[in-house]
Structure formats: structure tokens, C-alpha cells
Amino acid sequence: MYNMTDIHITWHEHQVARQDRERLNGHRGCVIWLTGLSGSGKSTLANVLDHLLSQRGIRTAVLDGDNVRHGLNASPNLLRETHGATFAERFGLGFSAIDREENIRRIGAVAQLFCEAGIIALTAFISPYRLDRQRVRQSLREGDFIEVFVDTPLAVCEERDPKGLYKKARAGELKHFTGIDDPYEAPEAPELIVRSSGERTPEALAAQVIAYLVTRGILPATVLDARETGG
């Protein structure tokens, strides 16, 4: 085991403080952590939020499961082509519990960087394990982690099945698929629960999240005026 003294790295404070960046931006930074089953509507909600907030001059960044798994957290089969088999086996991330844990740890660290830069990080990962989400929460400052449970029933996600993955999982062609033969641990005390089934459009869910951010003082109330006037 290493300790920080052995590896000679030291934490540096930055010259521009987070508060300075937030003052420039006109809003606080935070991490909006969307969690839910595959097909629950995480990416859709993250993208609608990104769009609505950007239109109102709010600085945001989206980190999305499928996309991040093409780069920073590439899967072994993607890495094998460019980096060879050994590298891919050592550093590629699949869907075992330990790989999901590392996936979430890295995303948590990236989201923290955005947050400290005064940006609203919108993350859309299944993040099925409570402990992994809890660790991200604990790595951030009090109040920076806003857990949003995209609570869509498995039957609805399976009916949507936009990528055909549930069908494959049911047929036994895809193992360890969340909700089928791998666990999903629903949040016990999320900051917010949004339900994307029924008549609730992604825009309605985004409005629920934005209203919450205003009540928490993360966004200025003027964001609501802009929404109501369509400006």
C-alpha cells in the first residue's frame, strides 16, 4: 500500500477560488447525479436540463454513461484495438461490480472538478450501488451532491428498450444486465425523485429539477422567470 508521503504528491490550492468563479457565472456549482435503470430516461433528462439551462446562461456539462465508456472509461473491447490485450484487460471497464465501482469513482472525480469550477455537472449513469453513490457524495462538499432518482419501473424500461439490450438480457445473450440478472439499489433518501413514466415529459421533469435548484439557492430565481416567459 502507498501513502501520500511515499508518492510525493502535494495538494495545491488554486489562485482563482471557487467563489470567484461562481460569482462570475452567477450561480453555484453542483453535481446533479441522475441514477436509474437503463432506459429510465437519465440521458434524456440530462440533455433537456443541459439545453434549458444553457439557454438561460447557466454553465453546465453532461457526463453520460454510454459516452464516457467510449473514452475515459472505455470498455476492454474498445481499448483492445488501440492499446492491446494486456492494457485492455488491466484498465478497461466492463459491468462487473468492481468495474462499475471504478466507473463511478472516476466519474465522481471528474464531476467534482466541474463542480469546483463553478459548473453544474449533470451525470447520467445507472450507478446501481448505494455505496458507490454514497462515496461520491462524501467526496464532495456538503450540499454539492444532488441525487436524483429517475424512478421508472423496470416494466416501462423494458417496454422502451431503445437499444434492444433488455431483449438480449432476457434471451441470456447479455449477462449481468442491471434489473434482469444484476442488482439495482434504489436510493433511500435522494434529494429528488422524478418519474418518467405516464404523461410526464422530459421537459416537465427538468422543470421539477430546476425548481429544486432554485429553492436550494444554487440557481437564481430569475431562471424561473425566463422559463415562464419562454425567454
Ligand X SMILES: Nc1ncnc2c1ncn2[C@@H]1O[C@H](COP(=O)(O)OP(=O)(O)O)[C@@H](O)[C@H]1O
Ligand Y SMILES: Nc1ncnc2c1ncn2[C@@H]1O[C@H](COP(=O)(O)OS(=O)(=O)O)[C@@H](OP(=O)(O)O)[C@H]1O
Q: Annotation-wise, does 57 bind a ligand?
A: no
Cα–Cα dist 114/228, whole Å: 28
Catalytic center residues: 127
Is 65 or 92 the residue whose CB approaches ligand X more closely?
65
- Judged by CB under 6 A, which of 48, 122, 126, 194 binds ligand Y? 126
Size of the site for ligand X (CB under 6 A): 16
Amino acid letter for position 102: E
- Judged by CB under 6 A, which of 74, 165, 194, 218 binds ligand Y? 165
- 127 interacts with ligand Y by CB under 6 A: yes
Q: What is the DSSP letter of 231?
A: -
The β-bridge partners of 146 are 32
- Judged by CB under 6 A, which of 65, 108, 118, 187 binds ligand Y? 65
Q: Annotation-wise, does 139 bind a ligand?
A: no
CA atoms within 13 A of residue 47's CA, in its CB half-sphere: 8
Is 66 or 181 the residue whose CB approaches ligand X more closely?
66
Q: Annotation-wise, does 197 bind a ligand?
A: no
Partner from ligand Y, ligand X, none contacting 177, C-beta within 5 to 8 A by type: ligand Y
Q: Annotation-wise, does 38 bind a ligand?
A: yes
**H or E stretch at 209:** helix 202-215
**H or E stretch at 35:** strand 30-35
Cα–Cα dist 226/52, whole Å: 10
- 36 interacts with ligand X by CB under 6 A: yes
Residues 94-133 that bind ligand X (CB under 6 A): 124
Cα–Cα dist 59/198, whole Å: 31
Would you say the C-alpha torsion 219, 224, 225, 230 has a positive or negative sign?
positive
The number of beta carbons lying within 10 Å of the beta carbon of residue 61 is: 16
Stretch that binds ligand Y, among 3-11, 24-32, 122-130, 203-211 (CB under 6 A): 122-130
Q: Which residue positions form the known binding site for ATP?
A: 36-43
Residues that bind ligand X (CB under 6 A): 36, 38-44, 124, 160, 162, 196, 200-202, 205
